[in-house]
Structure 1
Amino acid sequence: MRTLFVEQPVPQAVVSSWVNGKFHGEHNSAVKTLAGLRIWNEVHMPGGLRAWLLKNTFRVQLRIALLGGGKAWQGAVTGGTPDKYSKDVTFLDNYAKERWECVLHFMVGSTSGAADTVSSDTKQVLVKSGLMRRK
């Protein structure tokens, strides 16, 4: 992230100085991955210093992704016919409350029919997050 707005090479020694000593193994692995993906390119600065240069296309696109801007996606709706499946805020609020109530009923072992409508994926999330245990 530090190199996102730097448009010149950053010496590798400087980048390494940003890393806590006990995490140099993870740093080297990340650097190898970034170089392998050609996101960071190794270049030589005047005087023979080795440096990293963030690929310009990646830099520009990540800036757009993080800060907004750019062109709309090809599939973005820019007019034309309205979506016949469009939902309003009230509908979405009510639906979210209903689904949350189902999860709560399931978690407390309620015998109401609402507890039966919890998906297996939701059950797995509850178990893996430690919120519930299997008997």
Structure 2
Amino acid sequence: MARPLDTSTPLGREADSFLEALSRTASPATVDAYRRDLAALLDFLDRHDIGDPAALDAALLRRFLGGERSRGLAPRSLARRRAALSRFAEHLMACGYLDHNPVSLVRTPRVPRDLPRPWM
């Protein structure tokens, strides 16, 4: 299981609340993956002294995902991380922190498709 989230900021508390709600409908593996994704986002935001949920915007999320790509995260992992951020942004919208989903303005990473194996 991933490490617990830092809930000392409003954003951390909302991330924890989101994961709690997600755990009622998603598999434990999905919740664990989303927890890791949100922990990475919260670490990034902490390094930039951002703790307000309303501060999330497309430019900030592009910088975060670009940094993750530079660190060597695989395209599939980046796509999942973007999906986790989108679901979290929807939670923040429902709570009144955001009026739109900023992740919708962030391009989805291209995920290479496996070629079919020749039949023999």
TM-score range, shorter chain: under 0.3
Which structure's CA Rg is the greater one?
1
Select the structure with the greater relative contact order (CA < 8 A; seq sep ≥ 6).
2
TM-score (norm 1): 0.25
TM-score (norm 2): 0.27
Task: Looking at secondary structure, tell me which structure has more helix per residue.
Answer: 2
Task: Looking at secondary structure, tell me which structure has more strand per residue.
Answer: 1
